[in-house]
Structure 1
Amino acid sequence: MDQVIEFATNHYILSAVFAGLVIALIYSFFASALSPLKEITTHEATLLINKQDAVVLDVRPVAEFKKGHILGSKQVKSELLTKGDFTSLEKHKGTPIIVVCNMGMTAKRTASQMLKAGFENVTVLKGGISAWQGANLPTAK
């Protein structure tokens, strides 16, 4: 224990960086666990689609959507997403919604907006369409 204290006092910058990284790691773990927004795997997504008739919402640009998308997914225009206008999805407020983008980062922002707009069961596909295609699941063009 004395050596740890001696190292920390001699290398205070390294010790501070290490402490910051540990705190950031702990924060990210608890923040994702306590968040109302949940990420699901491709397997969980297929179960939601097949068993509960989940709506797949693709938030990628139209050109990317046309290159390949999940069967039955709906594409929403980006200008509607930036405004937070989800009136076209009002009839699906009670059904599970899976938000998909390329890698899963843009989908989190959209899903958070949807939760604030009153949608109850919104999830994000972890890894996005890349994970879906990586699992060799069917896509349409």
Structure 2
Amino acid sequence: MQQIQEFVTNHPLLWGALLAALIALAVTEAMRMFKGQRPIPATEAVRLMNVEDAIVVDTRSAADYKKGHILNAKHIPMAGIDERAGEITKNTDRTIICYCGIGNVAPQAVVKLRKQGYAKVYALKGGINAWQGDGMPVTSK
């Protein structure tokens, strides 16, 4: 314990930077939870697909989509999500699940679709890599 106090005393800038980073992380996570932007795991996505007939949107490149995608997923690359949002569904109350490769791009698509009025939009946690890691099927057709 004395070493920690000594470290804080001798390195206030490092300690302050660590504290600032932890606070920023906590605020970011709190905002994601408050806005409902927490990515959902594959099991929850399957439940939404079965129970609520969720629409699945693949935001990856065309080449990645052709290699393998979730069955019945609509391919709308992230670059065109604003212009092509109407192709997903006209019903803004319909459940939509967006996914990408590793889960870092789909949350951005969620934000853009929510700004366009879609209420129930979720990102797949870990993207298609996590989906396949959980043993879920993909297709290349």
Give yes or no for TM over 0.5. yes
Counterpart amino acid of residue 63 in structure 2: A
Secondary structure of 2:117's aligned partner: coil
Q: What residue identity is the alignment partner of 1:32?
A: R
* Higher deviation after alignment, 72-81 or 53-62: 72-81
Shift of 1:6: 5.5
Task: Determine if contact 2:92/2:119 at 8 Å carries over to the other structure.
Answer: yes
For residues 49 and 4 of structure 1, what CA distance do their matches in structure 2 show? 50
Q: Distance in 2 between matches of 1:110 and 1:121?
A: 12
Higher strand share: 1
State the 1:11 CA deviation: 1.8
Give % identity: 34
Corresponding residue number in structure 1 for 2:28: 28
After superposition, the Cα gap between the structure-2 partners of 1:137 and 1:39, relative to the gap in structure 1 and judged at 3 Å, is same
Alignment of 1:76 with 2:76, yes or no, is yes
Structure 1 residue ranges without an equivalent (≥5): none
User: CA separation in 2, counterparts of 1:29 and 1:96?
Assistant: 23
How far residue 92 of structure 1 moved from its aligned partner, in angstroms, is 4.0
Alpha-carbon distance, 1:99 to partner:
0.3
- TM-score relative to the length of structure 2: 0.87
Q: Which runs of 5+ in 2 are unaligned?
A: none
Where do residues 90-101 of structure 1 align in structure 2 (5 Å cutoff)? Answer: 90-101=89-100
Count of residue pairs brought into register by the alignment: 140
